[in-house]
Chains A and B, each alone.
Chain A
Amino acid sequence: MHALLGICGFIAIAFVILITVFLAVSGVPAIKEIGMTDFLFGMKWASTAAEPSYGIFPFILTSVFGTSGAIILGVPLGILCAVFMTKIADKRIGAIVSGAVSLMAGIPSVVYGLVGMIVIVPAVRSVFGLPDGANLFSAILVLAVMILPSVISMSETALRAVPKEYEEGSLALGATGTETIFKVSLPAARSGILAAVVLGVGRAVGEAMAVMMVSGNVPNMPGIFRSVRFLTTAVASEMSYSSGLQRQALFSVALVLFVFIMLINIILNIVIKKEKGS
């Protein structure tokens, strides 16, 4: 039995190693050929042009901006929703909200994309009077909704773990309920909430399907109402047709994305370790 469990554990590690090695091996050659600076900081991506150029800086910026936007909109909403579920709502309503959140986590990303494409894109177009609604802003809206479940459930766990005595102490000293939530409960749960934010970042950076359907996919430098392409969608939209250096360059884009996610994971670990230490 122990051996079996050991094998199962090892398989997980094997997959991670396999993916890492695969990405490194297939991603590095193109970066070498194109040149690190030209690849990472090149402004123009025209992979199928007669004179192709492979600069992914627009993709990197788009991913960074898109993720930041989603965090700015999604995280406060998620945290406040978790506060409502754990501290304010009575048990029955809390359970309903909690159920809705888990359901939300289970919705496939293509469905978010579809709703975004059919509802959000036309809505953004008419609300802002734009010629076209498929842009960074629409992608941010969709991503903000998509990160909600992970942010809410992580924050919820963190808030529930705050010892009751803290809050009771605060109330006994004469603080109001609201003061207690914002000055005692949330600060006490901050490491968990920080983890929720980082998790949200990870989710937003890695999302491909939904943003592909609402962002327009043109390799422009990012602007809030411009059609943009993310790191993920750069890979997804061209991979099926690509060949030669273009294909290798797409692997390199995937490698960059992978490094991003690795960094996020490392930051997450540091944050949690630091909190535990203090």
Chain B
Amino acid sequence: MKKIKNIIAGVTAFSLLAGMTGCGGNIGSVDLTDSSVSSGEERTVSTDGSTSMESVIGFLSEAYRQKNGVKVTYNPTGSGAGIQAVQEGRCDIGLSSRELKSEEAETLNGTVIALDGIAVIVNPQNTVANMTVDQISKIYTGEITNWSQAGGDDAPIVCIGREAASGTRDGFESVTGTEDKCKYNQELTSTGDVIQTVASNPNAIGYASLASVGESVKAVSVENISPSEETILSGEYPIQRGFLLVTPKDKALSETAQAFYDFCTSSEADELIRKAGAVPVAK
């Protein structure tokens, strides 16, 4: 019996540990990152922030590494955490997919390098092709609960969203004026999960970065404007946000970081940003 007890204790302890690691990939990095020196190494640039910018920063850093041999690291922690990391000097450049708040703008500069449209997506079987911003916000706040009220078939609406503090959710809720008022049926933790869920549920509505939307779901027009590079750049498509590079005001960037920053804001980066699915801003 003793043996069994030991086995159980072991397995329980193990599953606890496994649970813990599952719970937070970032638990370890909370306090430890303070000690990791960001600018100490000569030839690397560290970036930290928005998970929505993963593909943009991926394309930029890969091209930059091939060109100059400088390694750009990327820590996908979310816009809020990225901004905090620059403030605390834990990374060279912060990445944010939301505008800086006024108190953040006191100490930090934000430079828009690209625009990203947030597509409102529905299942391909859904007959609705166009919605107004007002309809969308009513759907998400629970005022409209049936597709027939939005020009579709008689079916309940299932609102799919992102977890609190996701940059996409923040962008979507601020444009539609639904901050803290959304009644979600599901709060998922990644863009891919949202698309997968909408693709598999004919009643669902969701939102995701336009760059990630593929064939499996249908992006509806908003105010009769379909989301595309042209309509986003011209500002016609209403649900959009900027991708920002965040840098400290009081402290100059290291030479390496400044060079990468210049690269990202040069016209050279345009094609790469486009490849990553976002819209480069005119330079």
A78 at the interface (CB under 8 A from B): no
**Residues A216 and B78 in contact, CB atoms below 8 Å apart:** no
Chain B contacts with A in 1-48, Cβ cutoff 8 A: 1, 4-5, 8-9, 11-13, 15-20, 22-27, 30
For A199, the closest partner residue in chain B by CB is B8
**Residues A206 and B200 in contact, CB atoms below 8 Å apart:** no
For A240, the closest partner residue in chain B by CB is B26
Chain B contacts with A in 119-166, Cβ cutoff 8 A: 155-158, 163-166
For A15, the closest partner residue in chain B by CB is B17
**Residues A125 and B78 in contact, CB atoms below 8 Å apart:** no
**Residues A131 and B8 in contact, CB atoms below 8 Å apart:** no
Interface size class of A (residues with CB under 8 A): 35 or more
The smallest C-beta distance from A51 to any residue of chain B, in angstroms, reads 9
A188 to B185 alpha-carbon distance, docked (Å) = 47
B191 at the interface (CB under 8 A from A): no
A238 at the interface (CB under 8 A from B): yes
A272 to B5 alpha-carbon distance, docked (Å) = 7
A239 at the interface (CB under 8 A from B): yes
The smallest C-beta distance from B150 to any residue of chain A, in angstroms, reads 14
Binary B-proximity of A169-205 (CB < 8 A = 1, otherwise 0): 0000000000000000000000110010011001100
A275 to B8 alpha-carbon distance, docked (Å) = 15
Looking at chain A's contact residues, is the secondary structure mostly helix, strand, loop, or mixed?
A: helix
For B186, the closest partner residue in chain A by CB is A216
The smallest C-beta distance from B122 to any residue of chain A, in angstroms, reads 14
**Residues B200 and A131 in contact, CB atoms below 8 Å apart:** no
- CB-CB under 8 A from B99, the residues of chain A are none
For B5, the closest partner residue in chain A by CB is A272
For B24, the closest partner residue in chain A by CB is A239
A144 to B121 alpha-carbon distance, docked (Å) = 33
The smallest C-beta distance from A1 to any residue of chain B, in angstroms, reads 22
Given contacts A216-B185, A254-B20, contact A240 B12 (CB under 8 A): no
Interface size class of B (residues with CB under 8 A): 35 or more
Chain B contacts with A in 87-138, Cβ cutoff 8 A: none
- CB-CB under 8 A from A243, the residues of chain B are 80-81, 84
For B83, the closest partner residue in chain A by CB is A243
**Residues B165 and A227 in contact, CB atoms below 8 Å apart:** no
Q: Which one of A33-41, A95-103, A115-123 is at the B interface?
A: A115-123
A252 at the interface (CB under 8 A from B): no
Binary B-proximity of A223-255 (CB < 8 A = 1, otherwise 0): 000010100100111111111001100100010
Interface centre among A16, A198, A227, A236 (most CB of B within 10 A): A236
A256 at the interface (CB under 8 A from B): no
Given contacts A50-B180, A217-B189, A275-B1, contact A238 B165 (CB under 8 A): yes
B196 at the interface (CB under 8 A from A): yes
A209 to B190 alpha-carbon distance, docked (Å) = 13
B62 at the interface (CB under 8 A from A): no
Given contacts A217-B163, A218-B187, A241-B164, contact A208 B19 (CB under 8 A): yes
**Residues A202 and B22 in contact, CB atoms below 8 Å apart:** no
B179 at the interface (CB under 8 A from A): yes
- CB-CB under 8 A from A221, the residues of chain B are none
B64 at the interface (CB under 8 A from A): no
Chain A contacts with B in 41-63, Cβ cutoff 8 A: 46-50
For B180, the closest partner residue in chain A by CB is A49
A168 to B15 alpha-carbon distance, docked (Å) = 38
- CB-CB under 8 A from A26, the residues of chain B are 30
The smallest C-beta distance from A50 to any residue of chain B, in angstroms, reads 6
Given contacts A132-B158, A241-B78, A272-B5, contact A150 B11 (CB under 8 A): yes
**Residues B12 and A261 in contact, CB atoms below 8 Å apart:** yes
The smallest C-beta distance from B105 to any residue of chain A, in angstroms, reads 17
B203 at the interface (CB under 8 A from A): yes
* 13 A–B pairs (Cβ distance < 8 Å), ordered by A: A46-B180, A117-B197, A121-B200, A122-B200, A131-B203, A203-B15, A206-B15, A208-B19, A216-B187, A235-B24, A239-B24, A241-B78, A269-B5
Query: Which B residues lie at the A interface, using CB under 8 A?
Result: 1, 4-5, 8-9, 11-13, 15-20, 22-27, 30, 51, 76-81, 84, 155-158, 163-166, 179-180, 184-189, 193, 196-197, 200-201, 203-204
Query: Which A residues lie at the B interface, using CB under 8 A?
Result: 15-16, 19, 26, 46-50, 109, 117-118, 121-122, 125, 131-134, 150, 154, 157-158, 191-192, 195, 198-199, 202-203, 206-209, 212-213, 216-218, 227, 229, 232, 235-243, 246-247, 250, 254, 257-258, 261, 264-265, 268-269, 272, 275-276
